[in-house]
Amino acid sequence: MSDYSPLETLIRKQIKANGPMPVSRYMQICLTHPQYGYYLKRDPLGRDGDFVTAPEISQMFGELVGLWAASVWHAMGMPAEVKFIELGPGRGTMMADALRAVKILPAFREAISVHLVEKSPTLRDKQREKLADAAHVEWYEQIEDIPEGPAIILANEFFDALPIHQAVRKETGWHERAIEIDGDDALAFTTAPNPMPRFDVLLPPVVRAAPVGAIFEWRPDNEIITLARRVRDQGGAALIIDYGHLRSDAGETFQAVARHNYTNPLRNAGLADLTAHVDFQALARAAEDVGARAHGPVEQGAFLKSLGIETRAQALMKNADEDSQKLTTAGLARLTGPSPEGMGSLFKVLGISHPAIQTLAALSDQEAKS
């Protein structure tokens, strides 16, 4: 018994009391349980943590995002006050780099107030430290709590951490996937006995045609719809960056990462990061359905190059020592290069704006979306 993490003990109790636990509930408990949730008590980022994100790879990432935000502010008609919002800011590195980069644009810098949505007290502390000299910051539990007003909203590797549902295609229809305790007393996947009624109708056609055994993953629309409604009603735009696919499709991407390695998502509950790929077509469609405008998605490599990352890298290397030059070169390759080492094509970038904003920098619509 004592071999289980405290969270697994709790999850087992719930399964014994209530029956199999849907994947979405499992993921939600593992990541954000107030006492034992993965994000609540630790800083998972960086070399000594579990995973590394783009802002932690190179300062160029946050700097270019800052300049992107400045161009959005221009497109918004340069309002005297704009809320600079970030969802899930991690260590606060991207925001710090963005704010430093826009110092060269004092009118924009003065218009900005910083608002962070973060559930983790540990990471709030890191953000407070990182941004101490840069800005006055307000924190919130959720997007809905941020006061009204035009906003520029950033979300890097936020959506992948939001719980997914999974369904398995059977002869009888689509059955929600859940987690049970199996005959060997281990946590294991199972499916609900009954198919979800009329689920087919909600599916993208390509998924409707998926063979028996296929898995489909989806997220509730709450966050994207809240974002989309906010920019639609109060002006501004959101930038969503994450790993995922341009088009909705069947396939399993639910994964656990600890110490930079994949692990079994059903072991060590609360001790590994659980994520799943982001379905960018579903995000864009949900935003358009409520009357916001979607821009892209485009691949991260193309986005950063279009914002001038190569020029920025050259500028950084000019007066730098050899070690820093190597870091900049490696950072550029990692952020824009191909898989498996590079994030350039696996990561996608989607803009969501007020419908009156026709284009957003580096996010033109040439990438297909139906």
In angstroms, give the least distance from the CB of 204 to ligand SAH.
25
Question: Segment 161-220, which members bind ligand SAH (CB under 6 A)?
Answer: 161
Helix (H, G, I), strand (E, B) or coil at 224: helix
- For tokens 């914002």, the residue is 307
Rounded to whole angstroms, the Cα distance separating 25 from 181 reads 15
C-beta separation of 236 from 355 below 8 A? no
Q: Which is nearer to ligand SAH, 32 or 263 (CB)?
A: 32
Q: Does 70 bind ligand SAH (CB under 6 A)?
A: no
Point out the residue whose Cβ comes nearest to ligand SAH: 88
Q: Which of 45, 60, 152, 292 binds ligand SAH (CB under 6 A)?
A: 45
Q: Which of 50, 118, 217, 299 binds ligand SAH (CB under 6 A)?
A: 118
What are the backbone dihedrals phi and psi of residue 244, each rounded to the nearest 5 degrees, phi first? Answer: 165, -165
Q: Does 57 bind ligand SAH (CB under 6 A)?
A: no
In angstroms, give the least distance from the CB of 141 to ligand SAH.
7
Helix (H, G, I), strand (E, B) or coil at 25: helix
In angstroms, give the least distance from the CB of 301 to ligand SAH.
17
Nearest to residue 333, comparing CAs of 317, 312, 310? 310
Q: Which of 9, 32, 71, 253 binds ligand SAH (CB under 6 A)?
A: 32
Residues 119-158: x where in contact with ligand SAH by CB under 6 A, - otherwise, as a string: xx--x--------------------------------xxx
Q: Which of 76, 117, 151, 215 binds ligand SAH (CB under 6 A)?
A: 117
C-alpha Rg value of the chain to the nearest Å: 21
Q: Which is nearer to ligand SAH, 204 or 301 (CB)?
A: 301
Q: Does 24 bind ligand SAH (CB under 6 A)?
A: no
Rounded to whole angstroms, the Cα distance separating 26 from 23 reads 5
Structure tokens at 336: 């824009």
Q: Which is nearer to ligand SAH, 35 or 314 (CB)?
A: 35
Q: Which of 88, 204, 265, 270 binds ligand SAH (CB under 6 A)?
A: 88
Q: Which is nearer to ligand SAH, 39 or 108 (CB)?
A: 39
Written as one string, the DSSP assignment of 30-64 is HHH-TTT-TTTS---BSTTSSB--HHHH-HHHHHH
C-beta separation of 173 from 193 below 8 A? no
In angstroms, give the least distance from the CB of 49 to ligand SAH.
10
Q: Which residues, including other chains, have CB under 8 Å from residue 10's CB and lie 6 or more apart?
A: 29, 33, 36
Q: Does 39 bind ligand SAH (CB under 6 A)?
A: yes
Q: Does 55 bind ligand SAH (CB under 6 A)?
A: yes
The stretch near ligand SAH (CB under 6 A) out of 118-126, 301-309, 311-319, 332-340 is 118-126
C-beta separation of 266 from 245 below 8 A? no
In angstroms, give the least distance from the CB of 290 to ligand SAH.
21
To 10 degrees, what angle do helices 322-336 and 309-318 make? Answer: 170
Rounded to whole angstroms, the Cα distance separating 146 from 60 reads 28
Q: Which is nearer to ligand SAH, 119 or 230 (CB)?
A: 119
Q: How many CA atoms are closer than 13 Å to the CA of 323, on its beta-carbon side? A: 0
Q: Using DSSP bridges, classify how beta strands 236-245 and 215-218 pair: parallel, antiparallel or unpaired.
A: unpaired
In angstroms, give the least distance from the CB of 196 to ligand SAH.
24
In the complex, the residues that contact ligand SAH under the rule CB under 6 A are 31-32, 39, 45, 53, 55-56, 88-90, 94, 117-120, 123, 156-158, 161
